[in-house]
């Protein structure tokens, strides 16, 4: 608190130094104190026993192993800036030097990332176990660039946990290597990428966000009436499910489910009939199989996978779309826009494990900076 006294009367010039105040006006300024590194010097005594001449040394605290080193707070902040805020190596070290007046090397940041990665091995295993045991898990994948070579980042996520896994392949081989889908027995929510369907140990639910985008394309570019009707039906079912959930219901009535299934089937059948009866062009037929339109491909998928498309209707735990996975994987694109490609094979797994840990923390309302700092404390809490 800083007191600003009144010494003289602004009207007559009377001395007010000893006059008690009648009131106080207050204004508060939130600001940062000067940021400086704190250096703690640990001193271990050395004593020679006067009786047997044995030299005895005091013990340094666990983790204090070098003559000069950075502590958990510095390492945690460096990793946080680089992995959570996605600031590149050079800019992270420059920011640290500007803020604290202490230069650090990019090698120090690399070592901090490596140490954090190693400390989080057990935590990553725990996250995978929690996801494997979940009732509903969202899956997605996106392309990455590693030292100029294309790879794939696979994600598996729930409302409380996130796991990332990088692999050169996109399909089943990579999904098996990630180690979640082969053991998962709940409901997998994803797009219509066929590799997911190869895992028959779980149920599947398709992302209707993808369906809506494709239906809009079919409406705008192909003037497909069936697509317009299907779009409104899916949104109608979603509204009905959301309303029932808000009212505390656990499921729709059997009559509602039967009615929606019937409407869905009628729209698909009418659409298929239109493609069967559409007039053929006068041009002579080309050799080979005629390529189907995008609208017909979508209709065939909706025909074949009605159960997977409407899974959200029969199981309220299943979301309407795959937005959870898309949100969890979107930051990868942000990182590549800011930092560009991963420059080494080791940087990619560092990013996947640490970023999965951070995403899990944020979903559970845990301060990421504090938790990252704790990973550098010997025997950190889980």
Q: Given its phi and psi angles, is residue 163 left (phi above 0), alpha (psi -120 to 50 degrees) or beta?
A: beta
How far the first Cα of the chain sits from its last, in Å, is 40
Asked if 213 contacts 227 with a C-beta cutoff of 8 angstroms, the reply is: no
Other CB atoms closer than 10 Å to residue 327's CB: what's the count? 15
Average pLDDT on 115-131 reads 96
Structural contact between residues 368 and 362, judged by C-beta atoms closer than 8 angstroms? yes
The average confidence (pLDDT) of the chain is: 93
3-state secondary structure of 239: helix
DSSP run (H or E) holding 216:
helix 208-222
The 10s digit of each residue's pLDDT in 15-70 is 999 999 999 999 999 999 989 999 999 999 999 999 999 999 999 998 899 999 99
Tokens encoding 60: 């340094």
Residue 288: pLDDT above 90? Answer: no
pLDDT, tens digit, for every residue of 197-225? Answer: 999 999 999 999 999 999 999 999 999 99
**CA pair distance 237, 257, nearest whole angstrom:** 9
Rounded to an integer, the average pLDDT of 89-112 is 95
Instruction: Give me the long-range contacts of 293-299 (CB less than 8 A, separation at least 24).
Output: 293/222, 294/214, 294/217, 294/218, 294/222, 295/217, 295/218, 295/222, 295/224, 295/227, 298/211, 298/214, 298/215, 298/218, 298/227, 299/226, 299/268, 299/271, 299/272, 299/275
| Banded pLDDT at 196 (limits 50, 70, 90) | very high
Model confidence at 281, pLDDT cuts 50, 70, 90, reads very low
Compute the distance between CA of residue 87 and CA of residue 81 in angstroms, rounded to an integer: 6
Residue with more model confidence, 379 or 57? 57
318, 312 contact by CB (below 8 A): yes
Furthest CA-CA distance within the chain: 113
Would you say residue 282 has pLDDT above 50?
Answer: no
pLDDT tens digits along 293-302: 899 999 999 9
Q: What is the per-residue pLDDT across 302-347, written as a single tens digit (0 to 9) for each?
A: 999 999 999 999 999 999 999 999 999 998 888 888 777 787 788 8
Return the pLDDT at 289.
61
Quick check: 185 pLDDT over 70?
yes
């Amino acid at each position: 608190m800083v007191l600003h006294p009144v010494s003289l009367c602004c009207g007559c010039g009377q001395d007010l130094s000893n006059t008690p105040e009648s009131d106080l006006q207050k204004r508060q300024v939130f600001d940062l104190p000067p940021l400086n590194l704190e250096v703690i010097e640990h001193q271990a005594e050395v004593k020679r026993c006067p009786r047997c001449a044995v030299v005895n040394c005091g013990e340094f605290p666990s983790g204090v192993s070098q003559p000069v080193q950075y502590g958990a707070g510095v390492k945690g902040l460096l990793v946080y800036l680089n992995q959570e805020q996605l600031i590149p190596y050079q800019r992270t070290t420059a920011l640290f030097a500007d803020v604290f007046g202490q230069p650090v090397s990019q090698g120090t940041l690399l070592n901090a990332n490596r140490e954090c990665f190693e400390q989080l091995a057990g935590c990553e295993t725990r996250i995978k176990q929690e996801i494997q045991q979940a009732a509903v898990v969202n899956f997605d994948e996106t392309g990455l660039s590693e030292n100029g070579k294309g790879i794939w980042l696979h994600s598996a996520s729930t409302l409380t946990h996130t796991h990332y896994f990088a692999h050169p392949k996109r399909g089943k081989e990579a999904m098996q290597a990630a180690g979640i889908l082969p053991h998962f027995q709940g409901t997998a929510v994803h797009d219509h990428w066929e590799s997911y369907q190869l895992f028959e140990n779980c149920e599947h639910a398709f992302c209707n966000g993808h369906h809506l985008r494709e239906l809009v394309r079919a409406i705008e570019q192909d003037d497909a009436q069936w697509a317009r009707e299907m779009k409104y039906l899916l949104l109608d079912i979603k509204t009905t499910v959301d309303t029932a959930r808000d009212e505390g219901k656990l499921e729709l009535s059997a009559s509602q489910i039967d009615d929606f299934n019937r409407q869905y089937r009628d729209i698909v059948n009418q659409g298929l009939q239109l493609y069967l009866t559409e007039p053929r062009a006068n041009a002579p037929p080309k050799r080979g199989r005629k390529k189907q339109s995008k609208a017909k491909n979508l209709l065939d998928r909706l025909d074949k996978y009605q159960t997977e498309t409407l899974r959200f209707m029969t199981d309220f735990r299943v979301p309407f779309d795959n937005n959870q996975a898309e949100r969890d994987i979107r930051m990868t694109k942000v990182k590549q826009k800011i930092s560009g490609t991963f420059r080494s094979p080791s940087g990619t797994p560092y990013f996947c494990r640490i970023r999965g840990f951070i995403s899990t923390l944020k979903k559970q309302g845990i301060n990421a900076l504090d938790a990252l700092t704790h990973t550098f404390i010997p025997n950190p809490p889980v």
